[in-house]
Structure 1
């Protein structure tokens, strides 16, 4: 049951732009844990064990299968069968979990990398726990686990999705020993210009949105403190990018139609400030670029009923059981054609058009695309990039 909620309109500048939900929560998803999970353990194995225990004690489980939910949101490590001596630290995005790397991480381990995926403070348990972290919690955690991995291998790559990309890029500017970057939908700049008000909005309201929690891999709801903390990561990373170029090899994946981030800003920064000649960017959209380091993949795929790529779709294989075309979760557009079920999951998948939120015709049954039709090609490009730059 969702909490009863009154709309609170903010004052001065924010009054013209933002409304938020100020209410007394009834659902335990909207009541925060007593504290953040500890994350400064002296070794990674202790971190894994203590974090799993903490999740079991504090998570509001959505199903009866706690083991599946725990495996989706807990941090994990993949040890390669044929080590190449290097490691990759992966950081997820706002509201997400290590499940974001469920398809990418095994591919990296198969190339010989020791792969570690961390859980950002405030994630993996209940939506209200995003009220707890400050920017420093996320920064300190990423820096600490970079050091733990760097002590274990001969060189570390940093990878990040969305907010995680901001955190690892900022750290890479500060740590000259980082080998390079893997950035997936980097959230350097939000698409919504009103996001800059979120740090101020968090003084007045608790929730940017409250929704039914039915996806065990991530939060559907967003606490305003989480939104504000994300925005601070974007300010930090833009400051670094504005002040200096980044000369280490960087691999980027971006959607032209990304509904969450300003992908045009990100691709411009790649061309202008990420100066290594071996850097590569995969662009999922129709624009062609003069920068020879950029490869474009058309997302105009009517034969597959695909219109565009979304913020999240770049991360997942077409075979992912949760996010594939006919997977466990379908992210329906709010509005559906007259006469069709509002819940598009009741419609056969071959009748649904998939796109970034907002794309397509109102006469079409539409859902947010949540897989990458070019996933295999993307992994081949990433693996070649790493092989060429892992000397």
Structure 2
């Protein structure tokens, strides 16, 4: 990668800054945000966990929370490497590290668990499958198009950082980056049998991005002796920052405190 080709105006907006909250119970929790998301999606959950004594770290995945230019220069290896590095860093501070991830973060959590088998993990709307069937075509589409304007999207936010992220990320579809997400999805499915961590799987009936099939597939294919599946009724895809976020947080806290 030629770093000289980067714009000098790229920066990480405030809501996307990594989150680190020191706890007092010797257990760390690594929280991993999703595709085109950033740490702000995990802020509520992070603060709830920290109030229970956990040390919490929410890293920012490469290419996220900065700009579309930066996003297009990142790939699945970068995202997985950041998660592994973050797990190492938190393991150096805490006696035990639990892991939870949202959407693509759930996929990265599963891959991480298949390698290191932390004691407890949570998959939150883990995107090992997606309702967007065209994702299988992204290896071909990405040869011609790197981003496509989302027809009908008009997301507006009062918060200037969220409005910026909407303009840079959520206003487009990203065939090249979706290709990398698709690779991670396939890797995760193949590695489920190597997961022995105690696993909590959360999903929602109202999720329009990840079908319930994904949660059941994870449940049926991991090798974990202790596993639970909970289906929510009202929340959308970003379960950690939606209408049932309180119950989602309480469910995860109870799982980690078992």
Q: TM-score, normalised by structure 2?
A: 0.86
1:161/1:184 contact within 8 Å kept: yes
2:80 aligns with 139
- TM-superposed deviation, 1:212: 6.5
1:255 aligns with 2:239: no
1:284 aligns with 232
Gaps of 5+ in 2: none
2:236 aligns with 310
- TM-superposed deviation, 1:79: 1.2
Q: Deviations over 1:95-128 (max 9, x none)?
A: 1110001210001111211111111111111223
1:127 aligns with 2:53: no
Larger radius of gyration: 1
Aligned mate of 1:273, from 222, 242, 252? 222
2:247 aligns with 377
1:64 aligns with none
Aligned mate of 2:185, from 234, 256, 267? 234
Q: Deviations over 1:116-162 (max 9, x none)?
A: 11111111112232211122111111111111111111011111111
Gaps of 5+ in 1: 1-31, 37-53, 60-68, 286-298, 300-308, 317-370
1-structure distance, mates of 2:248, 2:85: 29
Aligned residues: 245
- TM-superposed deviation, 1:245: 5.2
2:101/2:123 contact within 8 Å kept: yes
Aligned mate of 2:139, from 199, 207, 213? 199
Q: Deviations over 1:288-335 (max 9, x none)?
A: xxxxxxxxxxx4xxxxxxxxx3212x212xxxxxxxxxxxxxxxxxxx
Q: 1:127 to 1:33 in 2, by over 3 A?
A: farther
Which has the larger share of helix? Answer: 2
Q: 1:33 to 1:163 in 2, by over 3 A?
A: farther
Name segments (4+ residues, structure 1) moved above 4 Å.
Answer: 210-215
- TM-superposed deviation, 1:274: 5.2
Q: 1:111 to 1:276 in 2, by over 3 A?
A: farther
Q: Deviations over 1:80-100 (max 9, x none)?
A: 2xx110111111111111000
1-structure distance, mates of 2:4, 2:18: 19
2:15 aligns with 72
Q: 1:273 to 1:130 in 2, by over 3 A?
A: same
- SS of 1:181 mapped into structure 2: strand
The 5 A counterparts of 1:129-208 are 129-176=70-117, 178-208=118-148
- SS of 1:259 mapped into structure 2: coil
- SS of 1:103 mapped into structure 2: helix
Q: TM-score, normalised by structure 1?
A: 0.58
